[in-house]
Structure 1
Amino acid sequence: MVDTTLPQNSVTLIGSLPPIKGISPYCYELMMALSKYIYVEFIGFEKMYPDFLYPGGKSKEEGIMPDFSKINNVSIRNFLVYYNPLTWIWAGLSIKNKVVHVQWWSHVLAPIYFVILSICKIRRKKIIITVHNVTPHEKNGFNQFLNRSILFFGDHFIVHSLKNVKQLSETYYVPKEKTSLVPIGSSISYNTQIVSQKEAREKLKLPLEKKIILFFGHIREYKGLDILLEAFATVTNEMNDVLLLIAGTPWEKWEKYEEIIQKYNLNENIKLFLQFIPSDDVKYFYHASDVVVLPYKDFTSQSAVGSVTLSFGKPLIVSNVGGLSDFVKDKNFAVEPNNSNLLAAKIIAVLADDSLIDKLSRDSRDLSEEYSWDRISEATVEQYRHALNGSY
């Protein structure tokens, strides 16, 4: 049992909550898990950035959202607005707790965070920063500068992989003793309703008899969809009854992927949902699939898609980059990145062997327990206690 005997027994979280897209599910589950042990003040966004900056044109999700009024041990204030500096100043001045835990993931937010954290420093708050992307996905000097300007305020840091610990030290000269590794929790908010594979496939108008591979999430260059398409061409040469399900918003031009599809004549074996998938519909894509693949080319952290996969108990094949291998117990299925032939061999091995599918499903369920949000919250509260006791 976590020790909750903290001075004030509370924390202020800064991040975003649904219906804002992006990191909101993570923040929501962290807030809910922490609220079992301590009182949480959550400061979030009413309007985080202009819609035109978000692929698809909308930064907020439509559909069923959590009823925040029924959550115990939590105070939620979603009032930050990107174009109103007075809200940034008010956040810094009105924070009630000694420990401020900031979620840092988007460089667009740097001016907002700079103002809030400057005021927190003046007020002698202890600042813990969870760094979700130690090195930006789009690497350039300006993004590095923005990272450094925010990390300057941290008294302690939380990251999601051992590689992140090393990068934080080597890139930003953060002493390793000021960094704690706390994994991403196994996301349970999407998996609250039992749906059979048949129901899911009928809902998505997918064939009932085929083996289905799922690629889920925003489509960005570093995620390696092109590598998966090359591998899938080999898979289709070996197996007739396979389908690749691609679900997510392209954050880049789709043409390069379409060229690969046409090159190998894969149209009949691919089903596309090239749009944002509402939270209420996520379950259908996972329940419809037989295996989930994360073929990332270059990555340093863990993946929200991986944590969601564990919660659904689905077999997972990942590239051995960043912390992705943490999501598979059998390291044979953490493959060398940028190797379409090896990836194809692993996919074929899984889809051709129902007993292996069952084994990898059990592995995912076991890891889902290991990365439960209860355990994540215990590790996080431990960091708050250190901060309050003056350990850093």
Structure 2
Amino acid sequence: MKVAMCDPSLFTGRYDDSLCAAMAGEGAEVALLGRPMRATDAIVPRGYRYEPRFFRRSEALRRRMGEGRAFRLLKAAEYGLSCALGDLAPLAGADVAHMQWLPLAPADRIMLRRLKGRTALVHTVHNADAYHADAGVQGRGYRGLLDMFDALIVHGGTTREALERQGVDPKRIHVIPHPPMRLAPAGAEDLAQVPDAILPRLLFFGTIRPYKGVDLLLEACLSLWRAGHRFELALAGKPFMDIAPLIERVRAAGFGERLITDLAFLTEQRLDAHMAKADILAFPYRHIDSSGAFLSALHHGKAMVTSDAGMFADLPEGVAARTPAGNAPALAQALLLLVESAAIRQALGARARTYGDSMGNWKDMALATIAIYRGVTGK
């Protein structure tokens, strides 16, 4: 089985790498098509090929241009040309072209039309609401693209039900659970770059976007700090929203020394170091289907507090402290128990690790994915 796995912007590199390696281990011939790798990427292909086929020109100019509007327009133009006029042989020549992400729906429609009938088309719907309704033109028309695929893969019932409500044929939707992941482990240098905790430390990590509720988290923390509770909050990841006013609120309230910020695209090793030095991990998301960040953190055995959105609603009781999505006071109450009790933190952390150990693995996911490929290709 020849598979072209496609994630043009490498949105979920660790996920892509894990799945491609597992499928290669089951005998599939796999190529992962993405952009040129950056210093923050930690992909080391095992048994599969990596081909930097997208954004080669814009990535070459990224450091010089920065990542502002001009760079984004250049990327969009380059991707549009690739979809309309580029060489699609690596995709069309495979038995299956599996699209993990569709980064620019108007351009993706052109590419999919060029591929239709030349190879089987499969897409993993990581979020039923494209880019969490946070992408403007990037996701405009995404729903229409779903009808062009022979099979759609989702990671849970929440996404499946959302697609069915949107009118997607249930026969084309396949549920495969998302296994836990492990980021590249932190080394001594990575650990040295993250300050040791002085007080119990709460960590929010990963890209910072409106749907992830960092504003709710800061509101909850401020209420606890004002009430005299002592703990730290670390924010680690690149903001895709203006968080300066939120940080200024913390400083203006006199709690700037409690806030640790590491606001950039961070290596997996650096993120792993942040998790290693935290006591509590926070996922106060307003909405989510499946969270790779959560699944990459389970093995650390840290106490977790989540909302009840998406996959979090289905967690077994006791795996995490769960609060209603969008409710900052409820989040503060859940955090209070964790920052004040090391015993509760340790108990929750142990349950989180045990839950991660009990979940499926990437071999199971690879076999299920290959079975879907066989169903749509007849091979």
Range class of TM-score, shorter chain = 0.7 to 0.9
Q: Which residue of 2 aligns with 1:345?
A: 333
User: Deviation digits for residues 26-73 of structure 1, max 9, x if unmatched?
Assistant: 2111111211113233241346xxxxxxxxxxxx531574444xx32x
Q: Which residue of 2 aligns with 1:154?
A: 149
The answer to whether structure 1 residue 40 and structure 2 residue 29 are counterparts is yes
Q: 1:184 aligns with which of 178, 185, 200?
A: 178
| Aligned residue runs from structure 1 range 308-387, under 5 A | 308-326=296-314, 329-330=317-318, 333-369=321-357, 370-387=359-376
User: Which AA in structure 2 matches 1:334?
Assistant: R
User: Which AA in structure 2 matches 1:365?
Assistant: R
| Aligned residue runs from structure 1 range 1-392, under 5 A | 9-16=1-8, 22-46=11-35, 61-62=38-39, 65-68=42-45, 71-72=46-47, 74-81=48-55, 82-83=78-79, 84-85=81-82, 89-92=86-89, 95-106=92-103, 108=104, 110-111=106-107, 113-123=108-118, 125-136=119-130, 137-138=132-133, 145-171=140-166, 173-191=167-185, 202-207=192-197, 209-237=198-226, 240-262=229-251, 264-297=253-286, 299-326=287-314, 329-330=317-318, 333-369=321-357, 370-389=359-378
Asked whether the 8 Å contact 1:317–1:328 carries over to 2, the reply is no
Q: Pick closer, same or farther for the CA change 1:266–1:67 going to 2, 3 Å.
A: same
Q: Which residue of 1 aligns with 2:71?
A: none
1:122 partner SS: coil
In the aligned structure 1, how far is the partner of 2:337 from the partner of 2:191? 23
User: Per-residue deviation at 1:262?
Assistant: 3.7
Q: Pick closer, same or farther for the CA change 1:80–1:338 going to 2, 3 Å.
A: closer
Q: Which residue of 1 aligns with 2:73?
A: none
Structure 2: unaligned runs, 5 residues or longer: 56-77
User: Per-residue deviation at 1:21?
Assistant: 5.3
User: Per-residue deviation at 1:371?
Assistant: 4.0
User: Which AA in structure 1 matches 2:160?
Assistant: V
In the aligned structure 2, how far is the partner of 1:382 from the partner of 1:357? 40
User: Per-residue deviation at 1:109?
Assistant: 5.8
In the aligned structure 1, how far is the partner of 2:142 from the partner of 2:202? 36
Q: Pick closer, same or farther for the CA change 1:117–1:12 going to 2, 3 Å.
A: same
How many residues align? The count is 354
Asked whether the 8 Å contact 1:211–1:289 carries over to 2, the reply is yes
What's the % identity of the aligned pairs?
A: 20
Asked whether the 8 Å contact 1:132–1:301 carries over to 2, the reply is yes
User: Deviation digits for residues 225-261 of structure 1, max 9, x if unmatched?
Assistant: 1111111123324564410011111212223313431
User: Which AA in structure 1 matches 2:318?
Assistant: D
User: Per-residue deviation at 1:271?
Assistant: 0.8
In the aligned structure 2, how far is the partner of 1:375 from the partner of 1:265? 50
Q: Pick closer, same or farther for the CA change 1:374–1:355 going to 2, 3 Å.
A: farther
Structure 1: unaligned runs, 5 residues or longer: 1-8, 48-59
User: Which AA in structure 2 matches 1:62?
Assistant: A
User: Per-residue deviation at 1:204?
Assistant: 1.5
In the aligned structure 2, how far is the partner of 1:86 from the partner of 1:133? 22
User: Per-residue deviation at 1:312?
Assistant: 2.4
In the aligned structure 1, how far is the partner of 2:85 from the partner of 2:295? 32
In the aligned structure 1, how far is the partner of 2:236 from the partner of 2:135? 28
User: Which AA in structure 2 matches 1:291?
Assistant: I
2:152 partner SS: strand
Asked whether the 8 Å contact 1:105–1:132 carries over to 2, the reply is no
Asked whether the 8 Å contact 2:176–2:368 carries over to 1, the reply is yes
User: Which AA in structure 2 matches 1:80?
Assistant: F
User: Which AA in structure 2 matches 1:284?
Assistant: A
Asked whether the 8 Å contact 2:298–2:353 carries over to 1, the reply is yes
User: Deviation digits for residues 275-320 of structure 1, max 9, x if unmatched?
Assistant: 12122312110000001001112x2311121111113232211111
In the aligned structure 1, how far is the partner of 2:354 from the partner of 2:85? 42
In the aligned structure 2, how far is the partner of 1:94 from the partner of 1:317? 41
User: Deviation digits for residues 176-200 of structure 1, max 9, x if unmatched?
Assistant: 2321222333121333x577xxx97
TM normalised by structure 1 equals 0.80
Name whichever of 80-89 and 239-248 sits farther off.
80-89
In the aligned structure 1, how far is the partner of 2:139 from the partner of 2:83? 27
Q: CA RMSD in A?
A: 2.9
In the aligned structure 1, how far is the partner of 2:213 from the partner of 2:260? 17
TM normalised by structure 2 equals 0.82
User: Deviation digits for residues 198-237 of structure 1, max 9, x if unmatched?
Assistant: x976531233x41100011122111111111111123324
